[in-house]
C-alpha cells in the first residue's frame, strides 16, 4: 500500500497537509517543494502510478550536469500534495515551511539513446527503470527543463538506509554551468520567498482560518483567503472603533 507510510507519519487533525488517495488516471506532473524543516531540503516528486514518487534532495536539483545531487527516496505522497504550500505546525512530521518551488510535466525517456540522444519512452519503461534504479526522464517545468536521470546508488554505505539516489542533469540545451539554486527563492504559485511564507500571518494561522467557504483544495489558496479575511476583519474593527469614538 503505497500511501500507508505517508498516512502513518501524519496527524491530519493537526497538519494542513492533504490526506489523499491513490489516483487511477495516469498523470505526468512533477513538483519540487522547498522545505525548511529541521534541515533545509528540496522534495522532488514525480506523478507516477497514481502517487507522487518522492525524493528529498538536500542541496536541491541543479541544471549543471557536473552536480550529482544526493536524493533520498522517501515515502510516496498523495497526488493531492502537488500544490501544498504553507506551514506544517510544530511537533508534526516534517514541521516547517513548504514552498512550491517548481511545477510542470515530465515524460519518461527510453533507456536506449538513439544516436546519443534520448527519445521519449513509455510508462512501462519508466516503471522498469524505477525498479532497476536508473530512471531517465524529461522535465518541462517553469524552472527545471530538459533531460535528467535518477540513479540509485549501489552498495550501502554504513548507516545508510539503502534509499540513496543521485539526481543528475544530462547534457542538453537546458544545461546551465554553475547553476545556483539559491538565486531562485520564489514560489511558482504565489511568488513569495520562503521567509515570506514562513512569516506570513495568513500561513501561520492556517489552522484557524474561517471555515464555511467550502473545501479549499490548495493550501496556498487557503493562505490567500485567510490573509484577505484578516484584512477585512481589521477594516471592520477599525470602523467599529471609529463609531465607538
Rounded to a whole number of angstroms, the minimum distance from the CB of residue 141 to Mn ion is: 18
Determine whether 207 is an active site residue.
yes
Rounded to a whole number of angstroms, the minimum distance from the CB of residue 44 to Mn ion is: 10
Residues 6+ apart with CB under 8 A from 58: 39, 40, 41, 42, 69, 70, 72
CB 114 within 8 A of CB 135: no
From CA 191, how far away is CA 20, in angstroms rounded?
26
Per-residue contact string for residues 9-48; x = within reach of Mn ion by CB under 5 A: --------------------------x-------x-----
From CA 224, how far away is CA 209, in angstroms rounded?
10
From CA 137, how far away is CA 119, in angstroms rounded?
9
Catalytic residue among 117, 207, 217, 240: 207
Name the strand (E) or helix (H) holding 204.
Answer: helix 201-204
Q: Measured from the CB atom, is 35 or 192 closer to Mn ion?
A: 35
Q: Measured from the CB atom, is 43 or 223 closer to Mn ion?
A: 43
When CB distances to Mn ion are compared, the closest residue is 35
Rounded to a whole number of angstroms, the minimum distance from the CB of residue 39 to Mn ion is: 9
Residue 76 touching Mn ion (CB under 5 A) = no
Q: Measured from the CB atom, is 35 or 136 closer to Mn ion?
A: 35
Task: Give Cα separations from 230 to 56, 200, 244 (angstroms).
Answer: 34, 12, 21
Using CB under 5 A as the binding rule, the residues of this chain from 88 to 107 that contact Mn ion are: none
Rounded to a whole number of angstroms, the minimum distance from the CB of residue 133 to Mn ion is: 21
Residues 6+ apart with CB under 8 A from 32: 42, 43, 44, 45, 60, 61, 100, 101, 102, 103, 141, 143, 144
Binding residues for Mn ion, total number by CB under 5 A: 2
Rounded to a whole number of angstroms, the minimum distance from the CB of residue 99 to Mn ion is: 11
Q: Measured from the CB atom, is 35 or 209 closer to Mn ion?
A: 35
Q: Measured from the CB atom, is 88 or 226 closer to Mn ion?
A: 88
CB 100 within 8 A of CB 187: yes
Quick check: helix, strand or coil at residue 97? strand
Q: DSSP letters of 119-156?
A: -B--HHHHHHHHHHTEEEEEEEESS-EEEEEEEEPPSP
- Residues acting as catalytic residues: 207
Residue ranges in contact with Mn ion by CB under 5 A: 35, 43
Amino acid at each position: 500500500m503505497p500511501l500507508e507510510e505517508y498516512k502513518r507519519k501524519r496527524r491530519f487533525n493537526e497538519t494542513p497537509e492533504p490526506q489523499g488517495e491513490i489516483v487511477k488516471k495516469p498523470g505526468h506532473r512533477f513538483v519540487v517543494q522547498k522545505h525548511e524543516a529541521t534541515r533545509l531540503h528540496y522534495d522532488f516528486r514525480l506523478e507516477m502510478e497514481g502517487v507522487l514518487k518522492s525524493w528529498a534532495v538536500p542541496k536541491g536539483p541543479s541544471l549543471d550536469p557536473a552536480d550529482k545531487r544526493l536524493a533520498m527516496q522517501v515515502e510516496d505522497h498523495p497526488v493531492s500534495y502537488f500544490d501544498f504550500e504553507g506551514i506544517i505546525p510544530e511537533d508534526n512530521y516534517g514541521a516547517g515551511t513548504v514552498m512550491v518551488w517548481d511545477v510542470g510535466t515530465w515524460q519518461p525517456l527510453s533507456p536506449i539513446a538513439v544516436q546519443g540522444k534520448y527519445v521519449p519512452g513509455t510508462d512501462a519503461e519508466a516503471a522498469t527503470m524505477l525498479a532497476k534504479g536508473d530512471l531517465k526522464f524529461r522535465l518541462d517545468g517553469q524552472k527545471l527543463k530538459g533531460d535528467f536521470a535518477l540513479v540509485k546508488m549501489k552498495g550501502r554505505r554504513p548507516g545508510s538506509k539503502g534509499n540513496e539516489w543521485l539526481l543528475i542533469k544530462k547534457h542538453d540545451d537546458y544545461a546551465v554551468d554553475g547553476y545556483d539554486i539559491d538565486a531562485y527563492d520564489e514560489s511558482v504559485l504565489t511568488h513569495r520567498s520562503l521567509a515570506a511564507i514562513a512569516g506570513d500571518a495568513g500561513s501561520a494561522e492556517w489552522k484557524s482560518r474561517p471555515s464555511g467557504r467550502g473545501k479549499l483544495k490548495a493550501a496556498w489558496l487557503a493562505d490567500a483567503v485567510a490573509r484577505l479575511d484578516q484584512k477585512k476583519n481589521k477594516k471592520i474593527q477599525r470602523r467599529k472603533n471609529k463609531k465607538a469614538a
